[in-house]
Amino acid sequence: MKKLLASLLLGLGLMASVPLALAQAPESAAAPSAVAAPAETAAPAPAAAPLQAADAVPAEAAPAAAPAPKLDSGDTAWMLTSTLLVILMTIPGLALFYGGLARSKNMLSVLVQVFVVFSLISVLWALFGYSFTFGGEGLFIGGADKLFLKGIAPDTLSAVLPTIPEYVFVAFQGTFAAITVALIVGAFAERIRFSAVLIFSVLWFAFSYIPMAHMVWGGGLLGKDGALDFAGGTVVHINAGIAALVGAYMVGKRIGYGKEAMTPHSLTLTMVGASLLWVGWFGFNAGSAGAANGAAGLAFINTVLATAAATLSWLAGEVLHKGKASMLGAASGAVAGLVAVTPAAGFVGPMGAIVMGLVVGPLCLWGVSGLKRMLGADDAFDVFGVHGVGGIVGAILTGVFAAPSLGGTGGLTPDTFAMGAQVWVQVKSVLVTVVWSGVVAFIAYKAADLLVGLRVSEEAEREGLDISSHGETAYTR
């Protein structure tokens, strides 16, 4: 307990390093031109210059009409590249990260679940997800105007990001939806039915991911309230983390959990997966600038620095707590840093990103150890401890380090930014996400349980899901 408290004190002590961020304060705060998650601060469609009365102002004095939207090849190339990077995060990045954490008899089952969930959500996104996220102006859900991608052609420019084709924007946002659902797989791995995974994924995507993405990025409730979420702190990480925790409770603990050793079968693969996640995350964060511009550069460097700082602070906590620094700790710390900086990437300065990384490392270490024991849930690969806790910490600290006085951009309203008010907005967005995701996840798991049952049989679980569910093995002996 003393060592655990020491780890927590380390995290609190690191918060004292906030003055580091002061060195990054700009002389005059000005928000970058596209410094928010897709759709959050997208440039509005150009409006025609107001008509002047003929008898009041000569025609020659009328202001010129704003230029029509025009495709930018540089922005388009960057967004295509970012889309590929986010795909790389999931397949194979996330799949290998989770697969290495599993026991060898369940390796393929984890790979299959991530791979198929990514495929399933990609199709559903095109069928109805995109329309209900970015179509319409409801507070909680969009509209049906673009069901089946109706009305989009190769030369159609995105209304949200008017310098790239809409098809590119659809694909980019689809990768966010797919990886969010795939993240949840890590909580109930090694004991869930494959059919239950698919049923849950469809329901949770439709009734949790889509509404949350619309509320934050599609002009809905939280976006109107001024919530800052550059690339998915609430929409992706808290949303998935809460659903993962609910799933860990509802699916139940693995046979032998707490009594038998359930060590990762290949930390080598986990390290490879974590590295691919880090590389792919540049598409996730810097791509969320929506263009090849200064905001993308800011998000890029923040993604490097916060991740590196969290890796170091997690390992420092491990040394205090266990006396040794581990490879698993380094990989987990890196992911914690990536999660924390996601909502902040385009809003905070580089020194603020470092401080966020230093703070989140020990807090997520506590999340996967002390907090996990307190909750009593078998979250197999610590989805909630890293993505849930890290997402909450990152979302709230975004409201702090976005302050121009701490090197931030001032968020959406740099001229009137108030740290206290913004932190309260961030807290409200966290609370809405926790409640919404938790309720939808409970209903989705219950529906899957009623339809096909959540768990495999005890015999199948002991044999391993590779053989019992998929009829193949990852390794030959």
CA distance 402 to 419: 8
The percentage of the chain sitting over the pLDDT mark of 90, rounded to a whole number, equals: 84
Q: Is the pLDDT of residue 2 over 80?
A: no
Q: Is the pLDDT of residue 40 over 70?
A: no
Average pLDDT on 177-187 reads 98
Q: Is the pLDDT of residue 416 over 60?
A: yes
**Residues paired with 165 in a beta bridge:** 157
- Model confidence over 278-337: pLDDT tens digits? 999 999 999 999 999 999 999 999 999 999 999 999 999 999 999 999 999 999 999 999
Q: Is the pLDDT of residue 29 over 80?
A: no
The pLDDT, as a whole number, for residue 418 is 96
The pLDDT, as a whole number, for residue 35 is 34
pLDDT category of residue 460 using cuts at 50, 70 and 90: very high
pTM: 0.87
- Domains, the chain, in order of start with CATH, read 73-470 (1.10.3430.10)
CA distance 135 to 235: 17
The percentage of the chain sitting over the pLDDT mark of 70, rounded to a whole number, equals: 86
Query: Cis link prior to 92 (omega < 30° from 0)?
Result: yes
- Model confidence over 232-267: pLDDT tens digits? 999 999 999 999 999 999 999 999 998 998 999 999
The closest alpha carbon to 465, from 194, 244, 211, 61, belongs to 194
The pLDDT, as a whole number, for residue 91 is 96
The pLDDT, as a whole number, for residue 64 is 59
- What is the distance, to the nearest Å, from the Cα of residue 159 to the centroid of all Cα atoms in its chain? 23
pLDDT category of residue 63 using cuts at 50, 70 and 90: low
The pLDDT, as a whole number, for residue 476 is 82
CA distance 230 to 253: 35
Higher-confidence position of 97 and 60: 97
The pLDDT, as a whole number, for residue 417 is 96
pLDDT category of residue 274 using cuts at 50, 70 and 90: very high
Please write down the HEC assignment for all residues of the chain: CHHHHHHHHHHHHHHHHCHHHHCCCCCCCCCCCCCCCCCCCCCCCCCCCCCCCCCCCCHHHCCCCCCCCCCCHHHHHHHHHHHHHHHHHHHHHHHHHHHHHCCHHHHHHHHHHHHHHHHHHHHHHHHHHHHHHHCCCCCCCCCCCCHHHCCCCCCCECCCCCCCEHHHHHHHHHHHHHHHHHHHHHCCCCCECHHHHHHHHHHHHHHHHHHHHHHHHCCCHHHHHCCCCCCCHHHHHHHHHHHHHHHHHHHCCCCCECCECCCCCCHHHHHHHHHHHHHHHHHHHHHHHCCCCHHHHHHHHHHHHHHHHHHHHHHHHHHHHHCCCCHHHHHHHHHHHHHHHCCCCCCCCHHHHHHHHHHHHHHHHHHCCHHHHHHCCCCCCCHHHHHHHHHHHHHHHHHHHCCHHHCCCCCCCCCCCCHHHHHHHHHHHHHHHHHHHHHHHHHHHHHHHHHCCCECCHHHHHHCHHHHHHCCCCCCC
Phi-psi region of 411 (alpha: psi -120 to 50; beta: other; left: phi over 0): left
The pLDDT, as a whole number, for residue 211 is 98
Q: Is the pLDDT of residue 78 over 70?
A: yes
Quickly count: other Cβ atoms within 10 Å of residue 115's Cβ.
16
- Model confidence over 364-389: pLDDT tens digits? 999 999 999 999 999 999 999 999 99
The pLDDT, as a whole number, for residue 24 is 44
Q: What is the mean pLDDT of the chain?
A: 89
Q: Is the pLDDT of residue 18 over 50?
A: no
Backbone angles phi, psi at 142, to 5 degrees: -85, -150
